[in-house]
């Protein structure tokens, strides 16, 4: 029985073309350094085939635990289908330039029973009490501090608070400022409890530029930013980003801001406080 075996014509580094030879993929994969070279070669071949066959689809993939600048273009068949569907759902959201006003104070109603959040999660009784208190203050245009023992779910109460605001029709933009060590936890809890589109805004200039280009703004057919419209519901950023000055964040009119470990603001001469004064909060 004849079996087709794909072979590659290999040119070895530091050797002339005189020493090129044919090798199977199985032989080449014995050297782990070759794996990425084969992948890049196949991508180039697929790109060339595009001119003679059906279009080839690529997705720009942002990898978990890696910065945006390490994103890579991947063939459609190499991407998890559930992630493609999630991406298409986000792409289907259209820009909305309407500004929904905050409800009047007298429209606040106490929530007596926790709703069922994503994956069947529900608030405990004391967490529901904290949520009601946050909402009461928000309806009454009053800033507040949620203080509690460690491990009792202040992050979850804050996230479900934003979710309730979202349900009033105010869909964005929300801002969370947190220590660098906690932003992964914030992002994880957002995805565990809600379907809000949350973006972590942190990293090098290249990463931040990519976030601005792909994650933050709706654009028209000419690629121009549509003012007052945002792809995200919430942005999570760090104290360091605020201290360093972020004109792109300062320019946004934030509808709700949550500051984790806000006791840092006790000192009126605090640099973080000075940075916050430059923002449209």
Task: Please answer whether residues 173 and 236 qualify as being in contact, where contact means their C-beta atoms are separated by less than 8 angstroms.
Answer: no
Task: Please answer whether residues 216 and 199 qualify as being in contact, where contact means their C-beta atoms are separated by less than 8 angstroms.
Answer: yes
**126 in the same domain as 46:** no
DSSP secondary structure letter of residue 141: T
Identify the CA nearest to 174 among candidates 259, 265, 87: 259
Distance CA 154, CA 260 (A): 9
| Domain count of the fold of the chain | 2
E strand or H helix at 256: strand 256-259
Residue showing tokens 């993929």? 25
The whole domain housing 21 covers: 7-92
**Is the residue at 97 inside a domain?**
no
Beta bridge partners of 201: 237
Last residue of a domain, one of 92, 114, 147: 92
DSSP secondary structure letter of residue 253: B
**Is the residue at 98 inside a domain?**
no
Q: Which token pair is 101?
A: 């006003």
**168 in the same domain as 54:** no
**146 in the same domain as 88:** no
**142 in the same domain as 67:** no
**Is the residue at 99 inside a domain?**
no
Distance CA 192, CA 189 (A): 5
Torsion-angle region of 56 (φ positive above 0: left; ψ -120 to 50: alpha; else: beta) = beta
Q: Which token pair is 22?
A: 């044919």
Task: Please answer whether residues 41 and 30 qualify as being in contact, where contact means their C-beta atoms are separated by less than 8 angstroms.
Answer: no
Q: Which token pair is 183?
A: 């932003």
**Is the residue at 113 inside a domain?**
yes
First-residue to last-residue Cα distance in the chain: 73
**Is the residue at 141 inside a domain?**
yes
Tens of each residue's pLDDT in the chain, 281 residues: 555 778 889 888 888 888 899 988 888 888 877 888 888 888 777 776 655 566 778 899 999 989 999 999 998 989 999 999 999 999 899 888 888 999 999 999 999 999 999 989 999 999 999 999 999 999 999 999 998 888 889 999 999 999 999 999 999 999 999 999 999 999 999 999 999 999 999 999 999 999 999 999 999 888 889 988 999 999 999 999 998 888 999 999 999 999 998 887 777 778 888 888 888 88
Task: Please answer whether residues 236 and 199 qualify as being in contact, where contact means their C-beta atoms are separated by less than 8 angstroms.
Answer: yes
Residues in the chain: 281
Last residue of a domain, one of 43, 65, 92: 92
**Is the residue at 153 inside a domain?**
yes
Distance CA 74, CA 94 (A): 26
**146 in the same domain as 32:** no
**80 in the same domain as 175:** no
Distance CA 232, CA 174 (A): 9
**154 in the same domain as 81:** no
**137 in the same domain as 181:** yes
**216 in the same domain as 193:** yes
**127 in the same domain as 62:** no
**Is the residue at 2 inside a domain?**
no
Task: Supply the pLDDT for residue 210.
Answer: 95
**132 in the same domain as 63:** no
Task: Supply the pLDDT for residue 241.
Answer: 93
**253 in the same domain as 169:** yes
Q: Is the peptide bond before 99 cis (omega within 30 degrees of 0)?
A: no
DSSP secondary structure letter of residue 48: H
CATH number at residue 194: 3.40.50.10810
**Is the residue at 1 inside a domain?**
no
Last residue of a domain, one of 92, 123, 138: 92
DSSP three-state, residue 31: coil
CATH number at residue 54: 2.40.50
């Amino acid at each position: 029985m004849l079996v087709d075996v794909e072979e590659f014509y290999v040119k070895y580094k530091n050797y002339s073309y005189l020493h090129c030879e044919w090798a199977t993929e199985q032989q080449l994969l014995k050297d782990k350094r070759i794996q990425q070279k084969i992948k890049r070669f196949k991508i180039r071949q697929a790109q060339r085939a595009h001119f003679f066959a059906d279009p080839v689809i690529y997705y720009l993939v942002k990898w978990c635990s890696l910065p945006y600048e390490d994103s890579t273009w991947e063939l459609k068949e190499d991407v998890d289908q559930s992630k493609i569907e999630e991406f298409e759902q986000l792409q289907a959201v259209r820009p909305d330039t309407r500004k929904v006003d905050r409800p009047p104070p007298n429209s606040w109603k106490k929530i007596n029973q926790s709703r069922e959040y994503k994956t069947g999660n529900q608030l405990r009784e004391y967490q529901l009490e904290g949520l009601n208190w946050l909402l009461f203050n928000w309806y009454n245009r009053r800033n507040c501090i949620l203080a509690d023992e460690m491990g009792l779910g202040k992050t979850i109460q804050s996230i479900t608070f934003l979710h309730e605001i979202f349900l009033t029709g105010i869909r964005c933009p929300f801002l969370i400022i947190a220590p660098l060590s906690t932003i992964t936890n914030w992002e994880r809890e957002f995805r565990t409890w809600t379907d809000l589109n949350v973006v972590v805004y942190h990293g090098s200039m290249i990463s931040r530029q990519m976030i601005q280009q792909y994650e933050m703004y709706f654009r028209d057919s000419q690629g121009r930013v549509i003012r007052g419209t945002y792809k995200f519901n919430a942005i999570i950023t760090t104290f360091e980003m605020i201290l360093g000055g972020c004109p792109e964040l300062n320019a946004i009119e934030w509808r709700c801001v949550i500051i984790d470990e806000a006791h840092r603001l006790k000192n009126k001469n605090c640099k973080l406080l000075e940075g916050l004064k430059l923002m449209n909060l």
